[in-house]
Homo-oligomer: A and B are copies of this chain.
Amino acid sequence: MAKVGIKDIARIANVSLATVSRTLRTPDLVQEATRQRVLDAVAESGYKPNRMGMNLRTQRTGNIMVIIPDITNPFNADLIRSIEETASNNGYAVLLGDTQSSPEREQQYVDLVEAGQADGMLYFSGRNPFNINPDKPLLEQLPTMVNSNEELDLDGIDKVLLDNAKAASEAVQYLLDLGHTRIAAVTGPMNTKSANGRLQGYRQALQQAGVEIDDKLIIEGDYHIDAGVEATEKLLRLKQRPTAIFCFNDDMAIGAINVLQANDYRIPEDISVIGFDDILYSTYVRPALTTVSQPVQEIGRLCTEKLIARLRGSHDEPTTTYVSHKLVVRDSTGPAPK
């Protein structure tokens, strides 16, 4: 079957190319009878307008590029699902760029956007992938984009953010209120804004409570389960062990719980564990994980809506929207041991 094109429809319906196109795009401009003839031909032949031709002519692809470090992290998977749903409801498809945090991969996907393979992008990384000419206006040099999760050091672009410092500080305050003073932190990669923000909140809360900060209790992780495992093993070897461990995401907290239980610690009686993100599995881990909840669904929706508004031509001043976190207390935290 030779692929049927607009020319074939025009021939079958005995009209011009233009009329076929109009029937599909602006049916109101076509006479009822003509329109019906064209639609019949379309239905009969199964004609689908070729997107490459359409894209070139209209200068839009209907694609949104999502650039994100790791889709196997449940938080990111939830995020993408929300984005995909919002995009799909608005007639956009999602191009997925899983970068594994590699700058080269980030660059590669940004290039794709700049080459017009997508109309805009959601950028969940803090690394600046643009070659910016300081002599020219910034905005004209950037693709249409929204930044989230890891804040980008660029003004004048739309962002959706969480107050990481405040959220972390509340989590630590909650542990302090339970009587903990030796509180460990298993951070994310220290080249990310999220980890730095959360660490800052951790420090602030301790300082305000007059608790001395012990650098031995701060261990850099990478947001993967294994990092939680290794960090916790390290913490357990300390002469002065922590009574609580604040992991900067749930995956690492799950790793931490695992190590603690393998070494016969009771949670939370011996050691409390708290996570960040509130992924689905945090409810199903034993003990169920206390964690800082991020409104992942809302983040995905907001990002996508902001981007689509721009793609539809909005020239409003770019804004940063802060979404709100919530401490979800479950069973992995309790009073500090005597």
A-side residues, CB < 8 A to B, are 1, 46, 48-53, 55-56, 59, 61-63, 70-72, 74, 77-78, 80-81, 84-85, 88, 93-98, 100, 105, 108-109, 111-112, 114-117, 131, 133, 136, 140-141, 225, 254-255, 257-258, 261, 280-281, 284-286
| Known A74-B72, A284-B258: A94·B93 in contact at CB below 8 Å | no
Q: Please tell me if the beta carbons of A96 and B84 are within 8 angstroms of each other in the complex.
A: yes
A320 to B78, CA, bound (A): 32
13 pairs from A and B in contact (CB 8 Å cutoff): A1-B141, A46-B131, A52-B61, A61-B117, A62-B117, A71-B80, A74-B77, A80-B96, A88-B105, A93-B96, A257-B284, A281-B281, A286-B286
A225 touches B284 (CB 8 A): yes
Nearest to A140 among chain B residues (CB) is: B1
A64 CB to nearest B CB, Å:
10
Enumerate chain B residues within 8 angstroms of A257, measured Cβ to Cβ: 284
Number of copies: 2
- CB proximity of A213 to chain B, nearest CB, Å: 30
A141 surroundings in chain B (CB, below 8 A) = 1
Contacts of A115 in B (CB 8 A): 48-51
Q: Are A48 and B114 touching (Cβ within 8 A)? A: yes
